[in-house]
Amino acid sequence: MPSPAQAAVTTDETSSSVADIAADWSNINVMKPPPDKRDYTVEILENGLRVIYCSDPSSTEAGCAMDVHVGATSDPNDIPGLAHFNEHMLFLGTKEYPNENSFEEFLSANGGSSNAYTASENTCYYFTLQAEADEKLNEGLKRFGSFFTSPLFTENATGRELNAIESENSKNLQSDGFRIYQINKARQNPDHPHSKFFTGNKKTLLDETKKKGLDLRQSLIEFYNKYYSADQMTLAVVGPQSIETLKKMTHGAFSNIPNRKTNPPEDAWKRIVPPYDAEKSIIPSFGNIVKIVPVSDLRQVTITFPILYKDENEHTEALLTKQSTYVGHVIGHEGPGSLLSYLKGKGWVNSIASGSESDLSDFETFEVTVALTRLGLEKVDEIIESIFSVISMLRDNIIPKYIFNEVLQLEELGWRFASKGGVSSYVQSLSSSLQKYPPSLSVAGPQFVDNLTVDNALYTILSKSFKGQTNQKEFWYGTDYRADPVPVSTTLRWKNPTNTSNVQRQRTFEERMVPIPPPKIIRDDGPDGRWTVYYKPDDKFGQPKAFVIFELLTKEVYSSVKSAALSNMYEFCVADKLGEYAYDAGLAGLTYDVRIVPRGVRLTFGGYNDKLEDFAKYVTKQITTNLKNILPKDEAEFDRYQDLLIRSFAGFDVKQPYSHCAYYSQLMLQPPGYQYNNQELLEATKKVTLPELISYVGSVWSSGKGIALVQGNVDENQAKALVSTIDKALAFKPISATEIPAELVPLPIPESSAGSMGTRLVISEPNAENSNAASYVAIQSLSEDPKEHVMMELIGAVVAEPFYEELRTRQQLGYIVNCGVRPVGKTQTLGFIVQSSTAKNEKLTNEIKKFLDTIRPKFLEKIDEAKLAVYVKSLIDRKTEPDKQLATEATRNWAEIASGRLQFDRPQRDVAALLDLTTEDILGFWDQIYLKDGRRVITTEMIPQVGATSAPLPPKSTGYTPSSASTNKSSGSLLGIDDIEIFRQNSATL
């Protein structure tokens, strides 16, 4: 059954391609799940553009996506990255709207956003905005439509945007995902277009084109004119307007796109150039194992099976019958008797993921990826043999029929009760689905599993332990690797595998439905009792689902860094040991989560309500009383868990510099004991022992204060029964109100004078191979007043696009440039972040602060009452957007309960504050938090150790002392990484 995001198009006539839909457009029906009350229709415009419309009167948001059937595989051989560069350039001015920033300014003023991506065979552009008013959506569509009729490709923008491409590529150089992807492409036939380098960089787009005497701008125009044709485009338009209104707007905005009557780009190579050729590939492909040194501390083995389509029917069936879903379900099964269960029992693996990856017109790849333990790295041959054992059972039809039926039932269940998602993701999926899914369902195709053979497989192993053992370096990303032939004896064993797993098992849960009860009010048992329980029946979504969130407030879990490390270990044990049970539950639509939070332990249960109580009872008993089933059974299993956690903490070092900036900036605002830093947790995790874990877990549930939310398709009695079930299982001793862990109160950043740098933290980038610098400037407001909160959000909305335009588009400082408001407890900060491969950290900070100094005169002072009304309306639209899913509403309600605010009408409070704003209020607020003495500003900078933006390593400690915050109010203070904890302790004392 199609998913709602894959709006299936059916007609009364049999046809084999989407183009045949034009034969009788009036007969087309859009299949949708029963809960979906939106109206749909499809049509083809006179210029050949295929359009799907979705009218959703309940939404205050509208969106549009254009999917162009050309991607990076159509790059000219001598200009890698041209399709991606073309995607960037379409946003930078059109004939009708020549201002490079015009579209983004319009969206920003109307609560919207836009983006795009370039894939192998398609490029998708999309935007959303608040659009109850027809004229706003109409203008948005016209502006967007001009992308596809009259882009300017100006010389200035072309030159500047190259820096953005270079920064984006620089960001990707330390991404294992990009590095592995390029290695796999180098194992293909180099004549096949999928083997190309897709992203592009300054060298491929500028330096090499100059050497070859090519004009880059002219090449862009030629690419656009060749491939951007209405008959190769599909459009999705979603909004609260009627279908007829959406049609009228769309015709006006998109009917002028030229139809160049082009053939699909892949016709030039599809089933003409083979995707794989072992004799031509740059890196040996079939019959070889490629060993890669990753950036992160990964240990995994991946088997990649290319699935080649001999004709269009095979490709169509692959899309519609989802054979890869069935095969992936069996291989990746996590229940009892599964392959994962068997290999985990051996202590060899931590997880298995299986499914379709690359999907092109002439082939797709099916991958099985196994996360290895240290022991598993030594048992790769045996693990691969076990995978082929399951594949052999699939091929011989030994797998029980009910597993296949299970997949079909789950697809049906997920489709029937699909939740409504966000407009942005929905328009993207609709436009791309209209490219893929033809009306015909009666086609024949290959036996998918017949392609999953030992000889038709690419084997890849990742491990840091291969460092020093490799002998090759991949050209584009510099990835170290080696390729070794698979021994003949090993190949023979894989072809005749021992049956190592028993996939037959009993299903634990069955789908059942109950009538939706009438709404009930929230119930509060009072603050001094054993539990405080909140209840809200589902009065909106009409689905047989419920969510139950419990939290035991206790100081035990975060009383020290050691207890925090043990808490993390316990949380990991629960997730791993209950994995098989949870997998079965997930198949039946039930989910759980056990999460250690600074104030205690949180349990969340969700899904179909008829089995929720039994499910919650079982899980709660397992994690509290049946600990022998949860804790490591021996030192070897404990070592496996410890190793995973250590590598997880160590993986922090290879995150991007802008992520490090944001992390340290946030850490500086967290009280000691509320959040421990990554290095502390890493060291503490290395030292904990199994006996300590066993002793510690017994204390977690010993005492505390219980709070709960029950929300959804349950009546009040059922809600009480759920709480009673949990209460009996936990059996904790209640504590007094004074013993309850305190709510998060953020640390105050020291006050500084308006002209100073404020508090500045400078840290060496821990990944020695990442050449990017980053800077993050955060302005703190300690106010809890809703009016001041919405003023900060409004200022963020006003300056977000100009900030991006100045530092990213005009100055080309980096690919990562953004700003936004971040909540910290009941307060907020306004942050500005830039990451660059060309500018040093001090340059980034200086440019951010130069921009901040212009905010009042250049932007805020120019906001008259009319402009203010536009921004206020945009924020009101965003805040009053109705929850689209029960889970979203429950999560929002829980945030109020867990924080102690209990302001369930927060959106309405914010709206009231917004309606009360004046321009004088905003100017006064900005003066208070930034322009006047006493402002609280913290700057976090990351300095790379290599590359153009590197600098002498900053000192780890600057001599910061507990008295610094009080003695340096005027000049601010400079900190190194070793000063962080002193700073936090001092701030907490103050």
Output the CA torsion sign for 928, 933, 938, 941.
positive
pLDDT tens sequence across 729-763: 888 899 988 888 888 889 999 998 887 878 999 99
Q: Name residue 11's amino acid.
A: T
For the cut 80, the answer to whether the pLDDT of residue 321 exceeds it is no
| 595 and 705 in a common domain | yes
Last residue within a domain, chosen from 674, 705, 739? 739
Kindly indicate the confidence band of residue 792, based on its pLDDT and cuts at 50, 70 and 90. very high
Residue 27: predicted pLDDT = 58
Q: What percent of the chain has pLDDT over 90?
A: 53
Residues 671 and 791 in one domain: no
pLDDT > 90? residue 232: yes
Cβ distance 371 to 327 under 8 Å? no
Alpha carbon 367 to its chain's center: 21
**pLDDT at position 468:** 94
Domain co-membership, 460 together with 570:
no
Q: Find the CATH number of the domain harbouring 310.
A: 3.30.830.10
Residue 787 domain flag = yes
Any domain includes 242: no
Residue 4 within a domain: no
Evaluate if residue 115 carries a pLDDT over 50.
yes
Asked whether residue 666 falls in the same domain as residue 721, the answer is: yes
Ranges 530-534, 778-782, 914-918, most confident: 778-782
**Residue 587 pLDDT more than 90?**
no
> What confidence tens digit (pLDDT) does each residue in 401-446 have?
656 666 665 665 555 555 566 667 766 766 666 665 543 222 223 3
Q: Does some domain include residue 244? A: no
Residue 505 in 3-state DSSP?
coil
Percent helix, percent strand, percent coil in the chain, to nearest 5 = 45, 20, 35
Mean pLDDT for 820-843 is: 93
Q: CA 179 to CA 662: how far, in whole Å?
A: 25
CA-nearest of 40, 161, 27 to 93 is: 161
Q: Which residue, 473, 495, 517, sits at the end of a domain?
A: 495
* Cβ-contact 822, 857 below 8 angstroms: no
Tens of pLDDT along 897-927? 888 888 888 888 888 888 888 889 999 999 9
Decide if pLDDT at 637 tops 60.
yes
For residue 241, tell me if it sits in a domain.
no
Q: Note the pTM of the prediction, 2 decimals.
A: 0.74
Mean pLDDT, range 779-787, rounded to an integer? 92
Whether residue 652 is predicted with pLDDT greater than 80 in this model: the reply is: yes
- pLDDT for position 405: 62
Average pLDDT over the chain, rounded to an integer: 85
Report whether pLDDT(707) > 90.
yes
Task: Indicate the range of 154-158, 508-512, 928-932 predicted with least confidence.
Answer: 508-512
Please tell me the number of Cα atoms within 13 Å of 989 on its side-chain side. Answer: 11
* Cβ-contact 923, 856 below 8 angstroms: yes
Token pair for residue 545?
């689902």
- The set of residues, in sequence order, having a beta carbon less than 8 Å from that of 655 and lying 6+ positions away, is 663, 767
| Domain identity same for 639 and 563 | yes
Q: What is the pLDDT of residue 964?
A: 56
pLDDT for the residue 383: 95
Amino acid at 579: G
Q: Residue 618: in which H helix or E strand, if any? A: helix 612-624
Residue 91 belongs to what H/E stretch?
A: none
Q: Is residue 562 located within the same domain as residue 451?
A: no
* pLDDT value of position 427: 66
**Per the domain annotation, does 11 fall within a domain?**
no
Q: How far apart are CA 247 and CA 231, in angstroms?
A: 18
Chain centroid to CA 101:
26
Q: Greater confidence, 59 or 710? A: 710
The per-residue pLDDT for 448 is 76
Residue 629: per-residue pLDDT? 85
The DSSP secondary-structure symbol of 369 reads E
> If we measure between CA atoms, which residue out of 755, 926, 7, 55 comes closest to residue 435?
7
> Among 162-171, 271-280, 406-415, 622-631, which stretch is predicted with the lowest mean pLDDT?
406-415
Shared domain check, 564 and 708: yes
Domains held by the chain: number: 3
Average of per-residue pLDDT across 959-977: 65
Please give the pLDDT value at position 989. 76
- Domain-embedded: residue 958: yes
Q: Give yes or no: residues 704 and 802 share one domain.
A: no
Residue 180 has pLDDT above 50, yes or no: yes
- Check residue 513 and give its pLDDT: 28
Same domain, 620 and 553: yes
Give the domain extent around 787.
759-989
If one counts every other C-beta atom within 10 angstroms of the C-beta of residue 126, the result is: 23
Beta-carbon contacts of 442 under 8 Å, excluding residues fewer than 6 positions away, are: 14
Q: How far apart are CA 895 and CA 883, in angstroms?
A: 14
**pLDDT, tens digit, for every residue of 118-137?**
999 999 999 999 877 789 99
Phi/psi at 113 (nearest 5 deg)?
-160, 165
User: What is the number of residues in the chain?
Assistant: 990
Average pLDDT over residues 387-405: 74
Tell me the CA distances in angstroms from 716 to 318, 550, 707, 894, one per residue in order: 47, 16, 16, 18
Q: Are 283 and 476 in contact (CB under 8 A)?
A: no
In a domain, 968, yes or no: yes
Instruction: Please check whether residues 636 and 782 belong to one and the same domain.
Output: no
Clarify whether residues 558 and 666 are in a common domain.
yes
**Same domain membership, residue 483 and residue 618:** no
What's the pLDDT at 791? Answer: 95
Of 175, 500, 492, the residue nearest 349 (C-alpha): 500
Report the largest interatomic distance among the alpha carbons of the chain, rounded to a whole angstrom: 81
Whether the pLDDT of residue 15 is over 50: the answer is: no
**Above 70 in pLDDT, residue 264?**
yes
Query: What pLDDT does residue 4 have?
Result: 29
Average pLDDT, integer, range 629-647? 92
